[in-house]
Amino acid sequence: MINFKKLSSQIHRGGIGYVFEPTPEQLRESEWQIWTQDAVSRRKLVRQLAAIIRDKSMNYWRKEFLL
């Protein structure tokens, strides 16, 4: 199960919609980069990121955001 509170804490308003801002440590440690599309709402972006983390084999991001 994804820790939505932790995932949502790294989402900030930027430009037209909301963006995910990974920490420098997350960028350094992960094999995969999470590139997000512009999302109009925070909830929609959280759903998109959760689906990406769950469906793809992104082991670092799973370990980072799973409960």
What's the rounded Cα separation, in Å, for the pair 2 and 31? 19
Neighbours of 64 (CB within 10 A): 19
What does the pLDDT read at residue 38? 65
Average pLDDT, the chain: 81
Residue range 23-55, pLDDT digits in tens:
888 888 877 776 666 678 888 888 888 888 887
> Taking the model in full, what pTM does it have?
0.74
Facing residues of 39 across strands? 18
Helix (H, G, I), strand (E, B) or coil at 18: strand
